[in-house]
Amino acid sequence: EPRVRALENQRGILAMVLGMAFFLVNDTLVKLASADLPTGQLICLRGLMACLWLLLMCAQRGLLTQWRSLREPVIWVRGAFDGLSSIAYLTALIHLPLANATAINLASPLFILVLAVIFLKERLQWVRTLAALVGFGGVLLIVRPSGDGFNVYAWLCVLGTLGHAIRDLLTRRISGAVPGLLITLATAASVTALSGLWSLATPWVS
């Protein structure tokens, strides 16, 4: 029904806006914490806390009994992309001005548009494309990233942003029967595991 579909779209848009707001807060806190913690340890501890909260939320909603739904391979492929992309992006974030990293990361919708056309065979509507370009231009006007800050870490940030776009595309391949919180938990576990392995390369600090 059109009215139901429109309501679902509005809820999806609101969820995306709130999600981006929380990501920006998260990036700021990561940037502050990086002054005292090695990157691998920081991302691992962040992942452990996320896993704890998600486990509690899943248990409270009775979703842990549906753990068998996580056997879809695409869920863990998505988790691997998110883990590697998060490590790349957060490493870049620590070494870049926050405005530069934010501007690069907000190019993700442009990547998604292109990937959706190539892999999902979606039709590229010029209005949607123009809106994404105008929105990204507005972001650049607000944050004004400096040109001298575009270095190897900026390219690493681009790589992480592209990986996150692929992650979002893979989400479309997951069965609608799998609860979103369980998918998020699997993703957080993947990020934690990968960053935990990386953190072993340097001594942990208190």
Q: If the chain, 206 residues long, is cut into consecutive pieces of 10 residues, what is the mean pLDDT of each piece? A: 87 90 90 90 94 96 92 93 92 88 81 79 77 74 62 87 90 89 94 94 89
pLDDT of residue 147: 63
DSSP state of 71: G
Residue 125 in tokens:
């509507």
Handedness of CA 17, 79, 167, 8 (dihedral sign): negative
What is the model's pLDDT at position 143? 59
For residues 159 and 152, what is the distance between their CA atoms, to the nearest angstrom?
11
pLDDT, residue 73, reads 93
> What does the pLDDT read at residue 49?
95
Q: Residue 163 and residue 21: Cα distance in Å, rounded? A: 20
**Which pLDDT value is given to residue 3?**
83
**Token pair in block for residue 14:** 């609101």
The confidence score (pLDDT) of residue 115 equals: 81
| pLDDT given for residue 80 in this prediction | 93
Please state the pTM of the whole predicted model: 0.78
Alpha helices in the chain, H assignment, sequence order? 2-33, 39-60, 73-95, 98-105, 108-119, 126-143, 152-171, 180-199
